[in-house]
A and B are shown apart, each in its own frame.
Chain A
Amino acid sequence: MSRRLRDTARAYLFVSPWLISLAVFTAYPMLASFYFSLTRYTVIQPPAWIGLENFQVMFSKDELFWLATWNTLYYTVVSVPLQMLVALLLATLLNHSTRGIGFYRTAFYLPSLVPAVVTTLLWMLILDPRAGLANAALEALGLPKLGWMHSATWSKPSLILISLWVGVGQPMLIFLAGLKDTPQSLLEAATIDGANRWQRYWRVVIPLLTPTIFFNLLITLIASFQVFTTAFIATATATGATAAGPLNSMLVYMVHLYRQGFRYSSMGYASAMAVVLFLALVLLTLLVVRSSRGWVHYEGAPPR
């Protein structure tokens, strides 16, 4: 018994950095976020309890909150499935071709290494509404030029385009590794049973990949709801305009939160926004996990 106690004590010495981190950088800030959300807090003065006022203001008075929520939903709902689909398509194509795989892999992955500041500035140049490369291409194709980030309609698609350039490489590599792990024996068995290639792909390869798809989907979703740097830089114009893009069309949730907390020092309100996003993401995670029982196939699990 005392041996076990000694072992445990020693092990806790080893995990102590992580325990401290969990307490100081995770548990405490989480609880404090909930507490601050119920206060008026400007950092200069101690938090003053105001009950649910922040939430009332948020839901009924702050129109920008709803706009930011809409912008973020729009961005996420389009960008995440696109990222997953393009990554899966590219991985599937690469899985069948051995020639040049190194080149393609590098080409698709390199953008995800580029610092977000560089990515955003580079795309602001490419998407320049007067004579950027994107509009030059549209004009060469005989299509009308677009306003991109200078248009309320096209600014969110612009952000989504950037997210694709940056966000496809990583899941593509992960899917590719998953595809390469498909057991040859299963594919052969399916062939013997008369399955054609299409059927083998949809009935064998994809179901085996669903755990990987599920994991990537979850991580990308959570990250996408918290998109910040691209929108922040794209909207922090040199002229000092207060709107985040034309008609605030690029005011995503985190940019609104950042402005409330760090520009207007409304830490209480920003915390309330953080709590709302956190609860929404927990709910979403639970929903995705729950839905996964229907579509994620784990090897060794009984068929349903």
Chain B
Amino acid sequence: MNLRRWTEPVLSHLLLIAVALLFLIPLWWLLITSIKPLDQILTIPPIWWPPSPQWQNYVDTLTSPAFPFWQLMGNTLFYCVVSTIGTVVSSAVVAYAFARMRFVGRDLLFAITLATLLLPGVVTLIPTYVLFQRMGLVGTYAPLIVPYFFASAFNIFLLRQFMLTIPVELSDAAHVDGAGDFRVLWQIILPLVKPALIVVAIFNFIYAWNDFLGPLLYLDDSSRYPFSIGLYAFRSRFALQWNLITAAALTITAPLIAAFFALQRYFIEGVTLTGVKG
């Protein structure tokens, strides 16, 4: 009995540590490859730390015309920031109606909203492309950004669930004082659901940062590329220069990892909410 009390947590931790290492080693490899000279990358046995780290790789990558860092950064931030503002604002307004207003067809509309959560994106892909093409917008950021300004099922759902937890008395009191719905939303509800707004913003930002298919379909001019496609294009130019490729790759990944450590609470809460309440 005593033995079991000892062995079980030890075994469990050993297993957890082993799996954690399997998850972390690739990230370590990304970092370590980016500071290696070319002849130390594909070796058996592997080199876990280069004898003389070659930080110059970062200078070479970030100043390479094939990886125009500041331009890529500007495009990526533009895409992320504008789409995030769009979806947070529009989803909050729609969520408020579902959470606080009475109207004919509300429950049906909400059921439809939930159903679209399961809608496979593939069935809207081509006509949406054709639509933007006819409008002459292929090649611009409009097809990537405009849809965000019309809310999203998932964000509506998440924000609505949050708004429902706010006591009705609060908004009722404001209504009695003569406040309209927009004011109640802006001055009472939004400040109280700030954590949820932050969660929605973070996840949307990361989604846009990582988006590959969207920019691949809609952007053709390399001066408009965001990081994801920029890295893809960089790699096809420098196919075997793994140290430079990983330097570029880590550069676009590091901000996300930093954001995770800074905002960990929201990340965990966000992921958890998405699954359990669903």
Q: What residues of chain A have their CB less than 8 Å away from a CB belonging to chain B?
A: 4, 7-8, 10-12, 14-15, 17-22, 24-26, 28-30, 32-33, 36, 43, 86, 90, 93-94, 96-97, 99-100, 103-111, 113-118, 121-123, 125-126, 128, 130-133, 135-136, 139-140, 165, 168-171, 173-178, 181, 212, 215-216, 218-219, 222, 225-226, 228-229, 232-233, 236, 238, 254, 257, 261-262, 267, 270-271, 274-275, 277-278, 281, 285
Contact = CB atoms under 8 A, between A and B. Distances in A.
Contact of A18 (B44, B150, B278): B150
B1 to A, nearest CB: 13
Nearest to B94: A18
Contact of B228 (A97, A115, A181): A115
A233 B119 CA distance: 25
B46 A125 contact: no
Contact of B276 (A4, A36, A110, A177): A177
B30 A118 contact: yes
B16 interface: yes
Contacts of B239: 238
A254 B122 contact: yes
Contacts of A233: 212, 232
Given A121-B231, A130-B42, A111 B26 contact: yes
A140 B48 CA distance: 14
A114 B43 contact: no
B120 A122 contact: no
Taking chain B's interface residues, is the majority helix, strand, or loop, or is none over half, making it mixed?
helix
Contact of B126 (A33, A108, A123, A232): A33
A116 B210 contact: yes
B176 interface: no
A296 to B, nearest CB: 13
Contact of A11 (B15, B97, B133): B97
A94 B13 CA distance: 9
Interface stretch (B49-57, B65-73, B187-195, B244-252): B244-252
A33 B23 contact: no
A21 B151 contact: yes
B79 interface: no
B45 A140 contact: yes
Interface residues of B, number: 92
Contacts of B252: 115, 118
For A20, A26, A128, A232, the residue with the greatest tally of chain B CB atoms inside 10 Å of its CB is A26
A232 B120 CA distance: 19
Nearest to B238: A238
For B19, B276, B278, the residue with the greatest tally of chain A CB atoms inside 10 Å of its CB is B276
Contacts of A115: 209-210, 212, 227-228, 231, 252-253, 256
Contacts of A257: 122
For B12, B42, B43, B96, the residue with the greatest tally of chain A CB atoms inside 10 Å of its CB is B42
Nearest to A123: B26
Contacts of A114: 27, 253, 256
Given A14-B181, A215-B275, A26 B116 contact: yes
A295 to B, nearest CB: 17
B3 interface: no
B217 interface: yes
24 contacts: A11-B103, A18-B156, A43-B130, A93-B12, A96-B12, A103-B20, A104-B16, A107-B23, A108-B23, A109-B271, A113-B260, A117-B231, A125-B246, A165-B23, A174-B272, A178-B275, A181-B276, A225-B120, A233-B212, A233-B232, A236-B236, A271-B126, A274-B123, A277-B123
A110 B257 contact: yes
A82 B75 CA distance: 37
A127 to B, nearest CB: 10
Contacts of A176: 272
Interface string B139-163: 0000000010111100010000000
A89 to B, nearest CB: 9
A177 B272 contact: yes
The 6 A-B pairs with the shortest beta carbon distances in the complex, nearest first, are: A174-B275, A21-B150, A32-B127, A11-B103, A29-B124, A14-B97
Contacts of A267: 126, 130
Given A275-B123, A278-B123, 5 more contacts: A18-B156, A90-B16, A136-B43, A168-B23, A169-B23
B178 interface: no
Interface string B250-278: 10110011001000100110011011101
Contacts of A18: 90, 94, 113, 150-151, 156
B242 interface: yes
A21 B147 contact: yes
B147 A25 contact: yes
B24 interface: yes
Given A17-B150, A170-B271, A174-B275, A274 B16 contact: no
B206 interface: yes
Interface string B216-245: 110000000001110110011001001001
